[in-house]
Structure 1
Amino acid sequence: MYDRQSARILIIDDEKGMLDLLSYELGGQGYQVVTAQNGREGLERVKRDRFQLVITDVKMPGMDGVEVLQEIKKLDPDLEVIMTTGFGTIETAVAAMKKGAYDFIQKPFNLNEVTNLIEKVLERSELKSLVALYEASKAIFSSVRIDSLLPILADLAQKLLRADDASIMLPGLDGKLAIAASRGLEGEAEKAARLALGERIALGQAAQEPVIFEGPIHRDPRFSDLRLKDSILSAVVCPLRSKDKVLGALCAARTASDVPFNYSDLRHAQIYLSQVAQAIDNARLVQELENKMEDLKGAYAELEKMKDELAQAEKLRAIGELAAGVAHELNNPLTTIIGLADLLIEDGDPSAERMQDFSSIKSQADRCRKIIVNLLHFARKQRFEMRQASVNEIMENTLELVKYELQSSGIEMVKELDQAVPTTRLDPNRIQQVFLNLVTNARDALAGRERPKLVVRSSYAGDLIRVSVSDNGSGIPEKVLQRIFDPFFTTKDVGKGTGLGLSISFGIVKDHGGAIRAESREGEGTAFTVELPVTI
């Protein structure tokens, strides 16, 4: 049911007696009545004030009632208009209805008939407002993301309450109230005034119910500290509550219209607020849920990574034990073979053919011994000689070792070493072993490629140093990429690789508290990244 005391009715008629009669009768029933003696005066009042109903005569000098009706519908299509005339015809009534009039009354009229019609019009207007609130609720709950929801809420508040501006205020990270979204506000001074209303009225009254602030604000001693560029004449200021929790505040202000907010506006605000608070609460719950889901995804990814690293470490341990046993078993007979080969070379038949055979035996035995040394390095927990060192300097020394090989292979070498990378505590010899392995692998991958290119980079972020070695070689297939850190796994030809280089590098980096990973695209190239913690 609408509230009569908040219903404003404009009566336009060139007969003063009719204006006085309707003003007296309708005013006595509790309506707020404003009068105008001609069409142009009536239109000016519609432009300045807010009305729920206009009653206008048809036959008036200058601008007749039908013209007034047309102009009113241009200004406010939702404003209802009742036409009255003592010289009406069916044609006039039809023309008025076609142009948007709610109804047509013939003079002289019965006052009861007029008041009954007014009640119907205002009830319809109230129903339209409630329908608008329902439509607003559908728009509100269509969005569950807080960043897109808040502008919708401010826009709807401005329209539903017919305010010149509206703002949604929520606590920031520092706990202080801040404007999260607004419509019709631009200047910082204007925003500060709305924040003051939110803090001192909505939240300053134990955050209970919406209230109407009656301005102008510049005359209110509570806001004498504000530098105001506009004057808030009237405002609806509301705490946003969800259950027992205060979420923030909403402020809808009128600065251009002299018509203050009334009880009907306050009731609409209360209905709207219940939806706003629930929508904000829902959006926040969705956001919290999404954040938790992201955290869970991150935790799951980290768990999977740890599981893979644990499986890799267990695999290395098992194979390491096997390798150590094999190495020890082979080491003694191999030492005998090498020693006898040396004796045969020194004391044997000097014929070229036999000497070549002995040299071949010695060469292959030495290769076997190097493999055994690598096996023992892989199997045993080596003692590191830790000290502060620069990864950039270690990489520079590594590249110097292979400089000639890279140049002779026609490989373009690009260095992008960040000089801001700090020193860290590590074993320089072991880390150089890792870098050398990655660079030589990249060199091998570039064999036969057009415009071969090898890029080394270093960077520093947070507490991690990153060093990458990338090439534009043939790349590594996905199935192979999953196994490259497995011991004895190699894609090189027989005799050209033991399959231990990356396994040993993996162990060295892991023992430094770091990580090593590979990314590759077939036909495009491969990039290895070593991450080391910054320690002192």
Structure 2
Amino acid sequence: YQETKDRAEWMDMVNRLTRAIGLSLDMTDVYDTFTAALRNLVDFDRISIAVPEGDNLRFLAVSSEVPTELGTGVTIPLKKSVAAWVIAHRSTNIENDFAQERQFPVDETHLRDGLRSAIRVPLFYKGEVFGTLNLTSRHPNSYEDKKKRIVLEQIAGQVAVAIKNALLYEEAKRACEEAKRAYEELNVAQDYMVRSEKLRALGEMAGGVAHDFNNVLSVILGRAQLALDSVEDPRLKKSLHAIEQAALDAAKTVRRLQEFT
């Protein structure tokens, strides 16, 4: 009778958890919800979700009752990790006592942190393992109960879908943000190109005006110099020299304008 009652309670918890985590696409909300629910089922002092990223394993989320260097966002080599074993074997890994036997390099860290036993459950999505749900305890043999392991695997199946959906949602958000930034950068580039084209057109126009103005100045300067050679009146010569100098000064200004354009 007690076994049937326990199973009914566990299945009820699985159903309630499934409904709860299905209401959110936020990774933190999903993680906090199922972490709180799991405390009613199994003993753990640290819980984490880890996913492979290339040659590394990244901890997406970590909650720990004891100090740890393996916090959220930390990466460790995937090779020879427990996650690599779980992914390769597509099955749950249980270690009953780190003090007696340590199968993986990370177990040394767990033992230093005062942890003694662990269970690592594969997270399946569409038939593929994309990560692991990891629970560790300060007590040895915390995960020997086969019935609880089965229930934990059932919960992990529901959690995996919610986590994957949250990850896909985050990827979609990042893609939208990147697209928005790219669009803004494109607008900036287009504005720059428009301004550059306007400046280029203005430069061409200024160059044309300078050329025409230079032709006019050449005529004025030439006429003034011819007149200087043919007049004797000092006052008239003075006026013609003023015209000549003004034309020469204007020609210098035109040359500077041509150099700029």
The TM-score with structure 1 as length reference comes to 0.37
Alpha carbons 2:18, 2:158 under 8 Å: kept: no
Q: List runs of 5+ in structure 1 lacking aligned partners.
A: 8-30, 32-118, 380-536
Question: Which aligned pairs between 1:464-483 and structure 2 lie closer than 5 A?
Answer: none
Alpha carbons 2:82, 2:104 under 8 Å: kept: no
Question: Which residue in 2 is equivalent to 1:510?
Answer: none
Q: Deviations over 1:326-383 (max 9, x none)?
A: 3333223312324555776x965449xx968974x5676456434532442354xxxx
Structure 2 vs 1, CA of residues 260 and 288 (structure 1 numbering), >3 Å: closer, same or farther? closer
Helix, strand or coil at the partner of 1:168: strand
Question: Which residue in 1 is equivalent to 2:150?
Answer: 267
Structure 2 vs 1, CA of residues 301 and 161 (structure 1 numbering), >3 Å: closer, same or farther? same
Structure 2 vs 1, CA of residues 281 and 355 (structure 1 numbering), >3 Å: closer, same or farther? farther
Q: Deviations over 1:404-429 (max 9, x none)?
A: xxxxxxxxxxxxxxxxxxxxxxxxxx
Aligned AA (2:155) = Y
Query: What is the CA–CA distance in structure 2 between the aligned matches of 1:122 and 1:243, rounded to whole Å?
Result: 30
Question: Which aligned pairs between 1:403-442 and structure 2 lie closer than 5 A?
Answer: none
Structure 2 vs 1, CA of residues 340 and 262 (structure 1 numbering), >3 Å: closer, same or farther? same
Query: How far is 1:279 from its partner?
Result: 3.0
Query: What is the CA–CA distance in structure 2 between the aligned matches of 1:316 and 1:190, rounded to whole Å?
Result: 55
Count of residue pairs brought into register by the alignment: 248
Alpha carbons 1:210, 1:237 under 8 Å: kept: yes
Query: What is the CA–CA distance in structure 1 between the aligned matches of 2:70 and 2:212, rounded to whole Å?
Result: 86
Question: Which aligned pairs between 1:111-150 and structure 2 lie closer than 5 A?
Answer: 122=6, 125-126=9-10, 128-134=12-18, 136-138=20-22, 141-144=23-26, 146=27, 148=28
Question: Which aligned pairs between 1:326-337 and structure 2 lie closer than 5 A?
Answer: 326-337=209-220
Query: How far is 1:208 from its partner?
Result: 1.9
Larger RCO (alpha carbons 8 Å, 6+ apart): 2
Query: What is the CA–CA distance in structure 2 between the aligned matches of 1:371 and 1:189, rounded to whole Å?
Result: 71
Question: Which residue in 2 is equivalent to 1:219?
Answer: 100
Structure 2 vs 1, CA of residues 374 and 298 (structure 1 numbering), >3 Å: closer, same or farther? farther
Query: What is the CA–CA distance in structure 1 between the aligned matches of 2:69 and 2:202, rounded to whole Å?
Result: 69
Helix, strand or coil at the partner of 2:136: strand
Residue from 129, 135, 146 that aligns with 1:246: 129
Q: Deviations over 1:22-65 (max 9, x none)?
A: xxxxxxxxx5xxxxxxxxxxxxxxxxxxxxxxxxxxxxxxxxxx
Question: Which residue in 2 is equivalent to 1:181?
Answer: 61
Give the alignment's Cα RMSD to 1 decimal: 4.3
Aligned AA (2:32) = I
Query: How far is 1:280 from its partner?
Result: 3.0
Structure 2 vs 1, CA of residues 135 and 364 (structure 1 numbering), >3 Å: closer, same or farther? farther
Question: Which residue in 1 is equivalent to 2:91?
Answer: 209
Larger Cα Rg: Structure 1 or Structure 2? 1
Helix, strand or coil at the partner of 2:90: coil
Q: Deviations over 1:181-214 (max 9, x none)?
A: 22224234999xxx99x96655425342335x25
Query: What is the CA–CA distance in structure 2 between the aligned matches of 1:245 and 1:348, rounded to whole Å?
Result: 106
| Structure 2 residue 38 is the aligned partner of structure 1 residue 161 | no
Alpha carbons 1:136, 1:156 under 8 Å: kept: no
Alpha carbons 2:50, 2:131 under 8 Å: kept: yes
Helix, strand or coil at the partner of 2:174: helix
Aligned AA (2:68) = G
Query: How far is 1:244 from its partner?
Result: 4.2
Structure 2 vs 1, CA of residues 367 and 283 (structure 1 numbering), >3 Å: closer, same or farther? farther
Question: Which aligned pairs between 1:279-298 and structure 2 lie closer than 5 A?
Answer: 279-298=162-181
Q: Deviations over 1:309-337 (max 9, x none)?
A: 44444444444444444333322331232
Alpha carbons 2:30, 2:162 under 8 Å: kept: no
Structure 2 vs 1, CA of residues 298 and 365 (structure 1 numbering), >3 Å: closer, same or farther? farther
Structure 2 vs 1, CA of residues 286 and 326 (structure 1 numbering), >3 Å: closer, same or farther? same
Alpha carbons 2:43, 2:142 under 8 Å: kept: no
Q: List runs of 5+ in structure 2 lacking aligned partners.
A: none
Question: Which aligned pairs between 1:502-521 and structure 2 lie closer than 5 A?
Answer: none
Of Structure 1 and Structure 2, the greater helix share is in 2
Query: How far is 1:238 from its partner?
Result: 0.5
Structure 2 vs 1, CA of residues 341 and 135 (structure 1 numbering), >3 Å: closer, same or farther? same
The TM-score with structure 2 as length reference comes to 0.68
Structure 2 vs 1, CA of residues 127 and 301 (structure 1 numbering), >3 Å: closer, same or farther? closer
Query: How far is 1:249 from its partner?
Result: 1.1
Q: Deviations over 1:106-150 (max 9, x none)?
A: xxxxxxxxxxxxx5x546633542354135414xx5243x5x458
